[in-house]
Amino acid sequence: MSDLHQDDCFELGKILKTHALYGEVSVFLDVDYPQDYQTLQEVWVEIEQKLQKFEVEGVRLLPNKPQTALLKLRNIDSIEQAQEIVGAKLFLPLTFLPELGEKQFYFHEIIDFLVVDKVLGNLAQIQDVYTTTQTALLVMLYKGKEVLIPIHDEVILQVDRKEKKLYVALPEGLLDVYLQG
């Protein structure tokens, strides 16, 4: 067992299905650069709402499916054992995330940051990030209305982690669209 909590982690992916007979599993890696995780030494698997640490014996990316890998965990040595963890989420500590530049950020870290527009100034705090659409969207409550801001290089100007502010250049008329309702 581990004393690591989900709040201290980011979701790496999910176990999709078993692979072959000796405990290997097929996993979806929900990350931008799956190749960065080919040398994993350990991973935390969510089992019955608790995170369990497993040593990683091997990771093989599938060339025809870049987000999919075959994962072999120590002490999971049969298809039956592997079947028990199918559907489980995989986690890594936040410390595994690389440092980002001044315009880049991890979605989890900017919740509650203040959105500051270059023309309008302070707007509101980020409530959430929607990732189910083609373009990820910041969500803020502004003058009682939910406002969605596209996450684009042209929109995001700077992230100030120390002050917890996200500087943006909102597309012209964006706020008007939400406030006219």
Can you list the domains of the chain with their CATH numbers?
6-96 (2.40.30.60), 107-179 (2.30.30.240)
Determine the pLDDT at residue 181.
61
Residue for token digits 């979806």?
28
Beta pairing, strands 114-117 & 89-93: unpaired
Q: Identify the weakest region by mean pLDDT among 28-32, 60-64, 96-100, 105-109.
A: 96-100
H helix or E strand, kind and range, residue 54? strand 50-62
State how far Cα 40 lies from the chain centre. 17
User: For 55-104, what is each residue's pLDDT tens digit?
Assistant: 999 999 998 998 999 999 999 999 999 999 999 999 999 888 777 777 78
- Model confidence pTM above 0.95: no
